[in-house]
Amino acid sequence: MAKYVYRFGGGTAEGSAAMKELLGGKGANLAEMARIGIPVPPGFTITTEVCRHFYQNGGEYPEGLEAEVRAGIEFLEAQTGRKFGDPENPLLVSVRSGAPMSMPGMMDTILNLGLNDESVEGIARKIAPRFAYDSYRRLIAMYGNVVLGFKDDRGDPFDRLMQEFKKEKGAETDLDLTAEDLKVLVERFKAYYRERGKEFPQDPWKQLWGAIGAVFQSWNNERAKVYRRLNRIPDDMGTAVNVQTMVFGNLNERSGTGVAFTRDPATGENVLYGEYLLAAQGEDVVAGIRTPKPIEELEHEMPEVYSQLLEVRKKLERHYRDMQDLEFTIEDGKLYLLQTRTGKRTGFAAVRIAVEMVREGLITVEEAILRIDPAEQVYQLLQPIFDPEEKKRARVIAKGLAAGPGAATGRIAFFPDDAVRMAKEGPVILVREETSPEDIEGMFASTGVLTARGGLTSHAAVVARQVGKVAVVGCEELEIDYEGRTVAARGITLREGDWISIDGFTGEVLEGRVPTMPSEVIQVLIEKTKAPDEAPIYRLFAELMSWADERRRLGVRANADKPDQAEVALALGAEGIGLCRTEHMFFAEDRLPHMQKALIAKDPTERIEALRKLSTMQVEDFEGLLEVMDGKPVIIRLLDPPLHEFLPKPEEEEKIQQIAAEFGVSVEELRARIESLREMNPMLGHRGVRLGITHPDIYEMQAEAIFRAACRLKKRGKNPYPKVMIPLVAHVNEMARMREMVDQVAKRVMEEEDVELQYQVGTMIEIPRAALTADEVARAAQFFSFGTNDLTQMTFGFSRDDVAKFIGEYIEKKILPDDPFATIDARGVGELVRIATERGKETRPDLEVGICGEHGGESRSVHFCHEVGLDYVSCSPYRLPVARLAAAQAALKRIDK
Amino acid sequence: MAKYVYRFGGGTAEGSAAMKELLGGKGANLAEMARIGIPVPPGFTITTEVCRHFYQNGGEYPEGLEAEVRAGIEFLEAQTGRKFGDPENPLLVSVRSGAPMSMPGMMDTILNLGLNDESVEGIARKIAPRFAYDSYRRLIAMYGNVVLGFKDDRGDPFDRLMQEFKKEKGAETDLDLTAEDLKVLVERFKAYYRERGKEFPQDPWKQLWGAIGAVFQSWNNERAKVYRRLNRIPDDMGTAVNVQTMVFGNLNERSGTGVAFTRDPATGENVLYGEYLLAAQGEDVVAGIRTPKPIEELEHEMPEVYSQLLEVRKKLERHYRDMQDLEFTIEDGKLYLLQTRTGKRTGFAAVRIAVEMVREGLITVEEAILRIDPAEQVYQLLQPIFDPEEKKRARVIAKGLAAGPGAATGRIAFFPDDAVRMAKEGPVILVREETSPEDIEGMFASTGVLTARGGLTSHAAVVARQVGKVAVVGCEELEIDYEGRTVAARGITLREGDWISIDGFTGEVLEGRVPTMPSEVIQVLIEKTKAPDEAPIYRLFAELMSWADERRRLGVRANADKPDQAEVALALGAEGIGLCRTEHMFFAEDRLPHMQKALIAKDPTERIEALRKLSTMQVEDFEGLLEVMDGKPVIIRLLDPPLHEFLPKPEEEEKIQQIAAEFGVSVEELRARIESLREMNPMLGHRGVRLGITHPDIYEMQAEAIFRAACRLKKRGKNPYPKVMIPLVAHVNEMARMREMVDQVAKRVMEEEDVELQYQVGTMIEIPRAALTADEVARAAQFFSFGTNDLTQMTFGFSRDDVAKFIGEYIEKKILPDDPFATIDARGVGELVRIATERGKETRPDLEVGICGEHGGESRSVHFCHEVGLDYVSCSPYRLPVARLAAAQAALKRIDK
């Protein structure tokens, strides 16, 4: 028979850390801690299998569960010497969710379960009346919220009743209420139940089953679903339920609760980092309602507990070999761990912790590489910081806790919905009293988050770090007026939509829009304004990159059109140019008129003249680029866009008049020309190689410019390696004809210049047909580069320009797991990449095959490229570090989430 | 060593009819005729291999050719007892092209080769002076035209010199010129050579090699290249050269020349059919310059020769088992065959000959099926004829020879270029004195061809029959004034652009636009205005179709949207509806407002109300269609086009005003709605299943209407079989969601109506991704139908709306062999069809797989569908006979041209 309940406590456990799928992260780690001798209150975990059964069977539990739960409670009774439901010495438990993947704060929790009208008296007698009624009113409120879903149009009714009562009593804080007061409050809470036709259940078993059901139900609440979608957590994973003996941080002044990280999650510094509150239950810290004290103060307040905590820290890091995020409770001077898990961290911290743990001998280089998220963590190290000069001039209006490093500047939004809307127009800083799980979509949309309350482990801080947002939290100076939509501090009042800047390294809040400057990595590598020795973040980055480069198989190239971009690319590790788009060479102000002339000219000599002028200019462009990349391959794509892009749109009356006048044609003629170039579906239109076939002179001009430039460099002792790329090939005959043309031009130019060049002619594979017939195409093409943007458009039949009309709904409704323009669709588009690679190499075993779509800098796509056997990926220069690390991870066969 | 020369003559031959690739059609058949004892003048054939060598080696001949040609001439000398170059008794030869596939009149010929200043005297002495000089002047002219390419801006110089000389002499016809006159003409011709710095070569060997080279050169002249492109003949096939002993149809009055078909090539009637001219060389007949006599008259003029010809006819048909097209020459009362080949014929003749040859026991049913071109020949039987009532009212202005059956009406064009241009606007009748190979593009563009000169085997007649054009030739009453662009007869003068009608069954030419009516087949099957017994063409058609149906494996269905179309489809053999497009159900005048209301409505109940109204109307549509197709599958595709098609375009100011007023929204709101639906690339936009996902109520409404209709029919004792098709699926999740929706609607409606229905839910495979992931898609889809129109668009990245901008050039430059929208691209698009079929059937072995793109009625595509293992093809109703025959041919494994 299946086992649904796993016990832990008393120095041992039925589960272990390896059983996360079944027991959830929390349950598995509680079991693991129990096993390695860390003090945890005894408890048991109901498996995720029960959750799945619950959903597949309309809320029914599997047979046998009830008996196992009953036996679990008996185990707790034996461990604690208390009795569930006993009026004098009752066993009280917490009931918490715990999914296989962390979903902090998304699901429900109930504490102090087991109390009733009778046993609250027992506790009052045995421990203290105030503690007893404080615990009881919390249980009744939580049970009402969570199990019965009490909520009215004014929010949480129990919170409101509490506030009203405090006002009545003239109490400033909860602590000002006496045991008698709390007893009255309990009655008011129960009266609220009765008004709703309900009773607070006195039977602890009824409480327990109600709580278990509510936790399972909470797996599918709205915010949990949104969180899973954003974090790619499968809906059918399910949550476990942990039933655990209560320990009371609110028992007395020698009690308390806290959260801590074994290293600083913002910077990665190797210190215990956290905060605590005495005489409080855990929820008080996490919710950010009371601002807790920094963990260092515990050393003075409870030195013994503090040193115990340092011991636990060491033990857990040794055991888990990673930075841990802990929850603990102190009950009457005794430390209990309630949770440990691998801690979320910023990119800065991730890199520092990984590199330092290697140095400490705790992990291997490979583990370090695999631990860092290329896109979200490494990329952070390249993000801008404030320009110190500009920052000096800006006015600091407040200072809070630096919770997410980086520099962010944006317009103020006070509500998550506004943030989502305003973010479409430009960067937004979400300013809140505190954040809660409902706010995550707004946080995702914002560039930075600023809160007035909450500590470094508050919701805002945790989420910001996790998703790489700049965050300043607990900035208590701020006075936020939600209704008036203003925030004020130090005499300054800012309104919704005003600019504000926050420094996630220092916690400073600045008025206005403070200009940023490149990150330390960029300053060292590209701006060269900082020496490597003065740049610790750069040094960590460099070490990590060198490790990655030693381990990756995939080459990395950059998509860059101009010499300055190529220089950035080289500094960031490019081994070549994977895509030089030549469009800018036609659109630049001094060139467009020549191109237009070529398109409008009725006289062929005029047309040739115009193209010749363009050619001369392009020689310089190519010379610059090839010189920077000396010795490395440079793939230059011939003209791709449809010709109508070079002429005004039909509605641009003035431009048409002007151009007609300039080139001496009638407005009617020009209009007719524009009309003749118009297309219903330009994406599938007359562009790319189709122009090369029908307007061969443009491609010839470009080829000539490329070889002319390369010859000049060669004469100057350089070693240029141009690779001419033909876009939009669908049929080998297109490629064959272009290959012939380019080879002829190359031959002629090399003869004229008396120079021998190394070069190749290849194609972009971006049309399904080219992929399917790659064996044929490879007869003419010397290399392939997958243009996965267009390939995705045509494989899905999605127009990138129009897909926004439905792609959001597609992802929300889980029709598609991801936006295929962001992450390569391995099953469909990827199948074509696989087919083309195989078939291409059949014909030409030394065929070079790479990717130059925007997927080249996206880590899951890089993994795909590695697996499918591509030779390199090419991406925008600033994505190169992401690609390098992702390529190393792929080589280390990391199974990505 | 390779053999380059094959001899024939004297009752035997080195080649045979099986060696067409090597010897060309003419050479192979001359050899074959020699073998079976038919009188042919002895000769030899230089192989096509020499032609290929010639082109691959810059005009060089292979080693050994010269010796073989020399030996060949010696063979002819031995056979004839004459000597090449002998002054007294010279051997004269013809040099003719002859490609493996017939290219009539496209390449060059030289006759009377071997004559020079000396031997012409010998012939004059031995035979007759006039004959000698007539032959000599022809040789010099042809040699000048063909070998030396003499042509000036006034056309053929020799023809001009001849005309001038005739005027000088007051001669009306060539025959009025005496031997002395012709001698003078020879001198003038030679003077023309000298003016151009040339001499007519006196050495017969020089003449011979010049002629051989010229024939090889003519393989690549412009008109030959155009002809090959239009007829899909590979450019690297090459031509053979036939060198053959001259026989002289112009020797005396007991000599002559003619062409004949073993059956009537226009109607297929089993009679000898042809024409001849006495005292003439072959060229005179083919060129259509003199109108020859009908072959029957030969019986009176030369009864012995005529009966010999009937013998030859019988022998050749027995031997070749097909209708033959002959050229013959009578020299001094003796018959020689110069050529035989399978004769081109009209669709009417093709069907009649095939069916009758089966009845005669000459060929098998399978051979008959394989002999008929489905698209060009069977389709002709469905083409309209003149309405007899209307024709009675029309004025007959002339009568010529009925050379290509059918009825054609169109505007008059006198020049091929005009015909091509005017054909873009509507049907054209090309009216010419006579046609020549230069005119073929104009003939292709025209609906019908009318000539004033030439017989039933003239160029115009042959080409028209071959390509299925209606033709009336040799209509000598016509007075054509090219300069004034008029044609006159019986007192009526018509101008360029005026309407004219021609009856290819009777040879009548009618003034104006005479309305047409359906063909006999259509009258019997669909109009039911004629009984089968009174319709011989129908009977032939029906017999052929029944043979085809017995032999095909592929099913045939029709693309039809409405009951009347479905009835036509049934009559023409449809076994189901492969595609019912539901768009018309939204665009119809009484429905569009409801659809617009649904799209504009802000109030959901208004929207639902509008959709409900549409649903009621659609129930009737579906009921009608399902009733006609009772018991047969009917595939109904849910809404496909993007929503913006239902609203006015942004520039349709008036309509916008009107609709806004009608639906009580502001013009701004309506404009905003229109704008929100606008797309950059509508082909890749928000349509098909993407609407089904984002606007589920439209698809639900359609599904409800389908099942409601089916239930009603079932209650009336019918047996409807609807199959719901989801368009534009790219991902299995789209299909799965729609399947679920349709199944739910079906379940609900069936419960409400208390009826059990047979139905299926499937998808159109028209997106590359769906094809690539067909194994997944088939999990949700119960059938596949390939939408090869869209699949071609996306596989090639060609927008069907825009492809005209370059597809012509692509085909001309041979980048693509065919327009992939006309003939399925087997290698690329076909690969996806193959992949999808295989993968789909892996998941669901009983998956029904068909095609409903326009390729379904195109014969080569039908072959592909057969080979790839599809279950059926679906095409427009009138293409069904084409599909049925093509499917039978595919099953008989015909290798298509």
Closest residue of chain B to A729, computed from CA coordinates: B796
> Would you call B223 helix, strand, or coil by DSSP?
helix
Which residue of A684, A690, A772 is in closest CB contact with B683?
A684
> Would you call A293 helix, strand, or coil by DSSP?
strand
Q: Chain A residues with CB inside 8 Å of B815's CB?
A: 693, 731, 733-734, 737
Q: Is B332 left (phi over 0), alpha (psi -120 to 50) or beta?
A: left
pLDDT digits (tens, 9 = 90+) for A28-71: 999 999 999 999 999 999 999 999 999 999 899 999 999 999 99
Amino acid at A265: P
Mutate to test the interface with B, among A645, A684, A777 (most CBs of B within 10 A): A684
The partner residues of B331 in beta bridges, in order of sequence, read B334
Bridging pattern class, strands A448-451 and A428-432:
parallel
> Would you call A393 helix, strand, or coil by DSSP?
helix
pLDDT above 90 covers a percentage of chain A that reads 70
- In sequence order, which ranges of B680-828 are alpha helices (DSSP H)? 689-694, 696-715, 732-753, 768-772, 774-780, 788-796, 807-812
- Give chain B's residues under pLDDT 50: 895-897
Nearest-neighbour CA in chain B from A691: distance (Å)? 9
Closest residue of chain A to B813, computed from CA coordinates: A693
Bridging pattern class, strands A12-13 and A5-9:
antiparallel
Provide the pLDDT for residue B69.
97
Rounded to whole angstroms, how far apart are CA atoms B195 and B137? 17
Nearest-neighbour CA in chain A from B770: distance (Å)? 8
Which residue of B685, B690, B809 is in closest CB contact with A693?
B809
Give the 3-state secondary structure of A603-620.
CHHHHHHHHHHHHHHHHH
The 8-class DSSP code of residue A894 comes to P
Q: What is the CA radius of gyration of chain B?
A: 33
Q: Chain B residues with CB inside 8 Å of A764's CB?
A: none
Could B681 and A799 be called an inter-chain contact, meaning their C-beta atoms sit closer than 8 Å? Answer: yes
A340: tokens are 């440990």
Give the 3-state secondary structure of A794-809.
HHHCCCCCCHHHCHHH
The partner residues of B764 in beta bridges, in order of sequence, read B785
Q: Chain B residues with CB inside 8 Å of A679's CB?
A: 799, 801-802, 805
Query: The complex's ipTM?
Result: 0.81
Rounded to whole angstroms, how far apart are CA atoms A339 and B582? 60
Could B832 and A768 be called an inter-chain contact, meaning their C-beta atoms sit closer than 8 Å? Answer: yes
Helices B157-169, B129-146: axis angle to 10 degrees equals 150
A477: tokens are 């100076």
Which residue of B684, B734, B795 is in closest CB contact with A793?
B684
Contact A764, A786 (CB under 8 A): yes
Rounded to whole angstroms, how far apart are CA atoms A779 and A887? 29
Provide the pLDDT for residue A184.
95
Q: What are phi and psi of A665, to 5 degrees?
A: -120, 160
pLDDT digits (tens, 9 = 90+) for A173-214: 777 889 999 999 999 999 999 999 999 999 999 999 999 999
Provide the pLDDT for residue A107.
81
Could B731 and A828 be called an inter-chain contact, meaning their C-beta atoms sit closer than 8 Å? Answer: yes
pLDDT digits (tens, 9 = 90+) for A769-819: 999 999 999 999 999 999 999 999 999 999 988 888 898 889 888 899 889
Nearest-neighbour CA in chain A from B816: distance (Å)? 7
Size of interface A-B (CB pairs under 8 A): 168
Contact B150, B192 (CB under 8 A): yes
Nearest-neighbour CA in chain B from A860: distance (Å)? 20
Provide the pLDDT for residue B318.
95
Rounded to whole angstroms, how far apart are CA atoms B271 and A490? 113
Give the 3-state secondary structure of A506-526.
CCEEEECCCCEECCHHHHHHH
Could B795 and A733 be called an inter-chain contact, meaning their C-beta atoms sit closer than 8 Å? Answer: no
Higher-scoring residue by pLDDT: A401, B622? B622
Could B815 and A686 be called an inter-chain contact, meaning their C-beta atoms sit closer than 8 Å? Answer: no
Could B769 and A737 be called an inter-chain contact, meaning their C-beta atoms sit closer than 8 Å? Answer: no
Closest CA relative to residue A241, chosen from A59, A37, A49 = A49
Q: Chain B residues with CB inside 8 Å of A680's CB?
A: 682-683, 799, 801-802
Could A768 and B797 be called an inter-chain contact, meaning their C-beta atoms sit closer than 8 Å? Answer: yes
Provide the pLDDT for residue A240.
96
Could B815 and A773 be called an inter-chain contact, meaning their C-beta atoms sit closer than 8 Å? Answer: no
Contact A225, A812 (CB under 8 A): no
Instruction: Name, in order, each residue with C-beta under 8 angstroms of A782's C-beta and a sequence gap of 6 or more.
Output: A723, A760, A761, A762, A844, A847, A848
Instruction: Name, in order, each residue with C-beta under 8 angstroms of A558's C-beta and a sequence gap of 6 or more.
Output: A565, A566, A568, A569, A572, A574, A576, A577, A578, A874, A875, A876, A877, A880
What are the catalytic residues of A? 459, 852
In whole angstroms, what separates CA A799 from the centre of its chain?
26
> Would you call B137 helix, strand, or coil by DSSP?
helix
Q: Chain A residues with CB inside 8 Å of B684's CB?
A: 681, 683-684, 793-794, 797-799, 802
Provide the pLDDT for residue B284.
67
Provide the pLDDT for residue B663.
85
Closest residue of chain B to A813, computed from CA coordinates: B693
Closest CA relative to residue A376, chosen from A473, A463, A504 = A463
DSSP element (H, E) containing B330: strand B324-331
> Would you call B396 helix, strand, or coil by DSSP?
strand
Could A731 and B816 be called an inter-chain contact, meaning their C-beta atoms sit closer than 8 Å? Answer: yes
Rounded to whole angstroms, how far apart are CA atoms B546 and A142? 81
Nearest-neighbour CA in chain A from B466: distance (Å)? 31
Mutate to test the interface with A, among B765, B790, B802, B812 (most CBs of A within 10 A): B802
Nearest-neighbour CA in chain B from A644: distance (Å)? 13
A588: tokens are 């630049």
Q: Chain A residues with CB inside 8 Å of B810's CB?
A: 693
pLDDT digits (tens, 9 = 90+) for A426-448: 999 999 988 887 788 889 899 99
Contact B408, B470 (CB under 8 A): yes
Residue A286 has pLDDT above 60, yes or no: no
Could A797 and B728 be called an inter-chain contact, meaning their C-beta atoms sit closer than 8 Å? Answer: yes
Q: Chain A residues with CB inside 8 Å of B827's CB?
A: 772-773, 776
Q: Chain B residues with CB inside 8 Å of A773's CB?
A: 827-828, 831
Which residue of B694, B768, B801 is in closest CB contact with A794?
B768
B475: tokens are 């209509």
Rounded to whole angstroms, how far apart are CA atoms A514 and A520? 18
Rounded to whole angstroms, how far apart are CA atoms A742 and A748? 10
Provide the pLDDT for residue A895.
47
Rounded to whole angstroms, how far apart are CA atoms B531 and A130? 107
Contact A480, A414 (CB under 8 A): yes
DSSP assignment string, A38-106: -----EEEE-HHHHHHHHHTTTPPPTTHHHHHHHHHHHHHHHHS-BTT-SSSB--EEEEEE-SS--TTT
Q: How far is CA A529 from CA A524, A526, A535, A539, in A?
A: 6, 8, 11, 15
Mutate to test the interface with A, among B640, B644, B690, B824 (most CBs of A within 10 A): B690
Could A681 and B801 be called an inter-chain contact, meaning their C-beta atoms sit closer than 8 Å? Answer: yes
Could A796 and B769 be called an inter-chain contact, meaning their C-beta atoms sit closer than 8 Å? Answer: yes
Kindly report the number of other CB atoms within 10 A of residue B568's CB atom. Answer: 20
Rounded to whole angstroms, how far apart are CA atoms A829 and A810? 18
pLDDT digits (tens, 9 = 90+) for A867-883: 999 999 999 898 899 99
Active site residue B875: no
By CB atoms closer than 10 A (0-12, 13-18, 19+), residue A435 is buried
Residue A130 has pLDDT above 80, yes or no: yes
Contact A355, A543 (CB under 8 A): yes
Kindly report the number of other CB atoms within 10 A of residue B564's CB atom. Answer: 14
Contact B73, B38 (CB under 8 A): no
Could A802 and B773 be called an inter-chain contact, meaning their C-beta atoms sit closer than 8 Å? Answer: no
Instruction: Name, in order, each residue with C-beta under 8 angstroms of A744's C-beta and a sequence gap of 6 or more.
Output: none
Mutate to test the interface with B, among A698, A740, A792, A805 (most CBs of B within 10 A): A805
Describe the strand order of the beta sheet including B396-399 as a list of residue ranges. Answer: B396-399, B508-511, B499-503, B407-413, B428-432, B448-451, B470-473, B401-404
Amino acid at A305: V
Which residue of A685, A694, A827 is in closest CB contact with B799?
A685
B617: tokens are 């109307």
Contact B210, B44 (CB under 8 A): no
Instruction: Name, in order, each residue with C-beta under 8 angstroms of A90's C-beta and a sequence gap of 6 or more.
Output: A82, A83, A84, A114, A115, A119, A122, A123, A204
Q: Chain A residues with CB inside 8 Å of B788's CB?
A: none
Could A797 and B767 be called an inter-chain contact, meaning their C-beta atoms sit closer than 8 Å? Answer: yes
Active site residue B731: no
Q: Is B568 left (phi over 0), alpha (psi -120 to 50) or beta?
A: alpha
Nearest-neighbour CA in chain B from A355: distance (Å)? 42
Q: What is the pTM of this model?
A: 0.82
Which residue of B730, B796, B802 is in closest CB contact with A686?
B802
CA B480-B484-B490 angle, to 5 degrees, is 40
The 8-class DSSP code of residue A240 comes to E
Q: Across all residues in chain A, what is the average pLDDT?
A: 92
Could A805 and B679 be called an inter-chain contact, meaning their C-beta atoms sit closer than 8 Å? Answer: yes
Which single residue is written with the structure tokens 């009188």?
A: B39
The partner residues of A471 in beta bridges, in order of sequence, read A404, A449
Contact A175, A123 (CB under 8 A): no
Rounded mean pLDDT, A399-428: 91
Rounded mean pLDDT, A630-645: 94
Could B797 and A816 be called an inter-chain contact, meaning their C-beta atoms sit closer than 8 Å? Answer: no
Mutate to test the interface with A, among B645, B678, B805, B825 (most CBs of A within 10 A): B805
Q: How far is CA A124 from CA A116, A189, A257, in A?
A: 12, 19, 21
Which residue of B679, B776, B806 is in closest CB contact with A802?
B679
Which residue of B682, B767, B806 is in closest CB contact with A681?
B682
Closest CA relative to residue A585, chosen from A548, A625, A547, A618 = A618
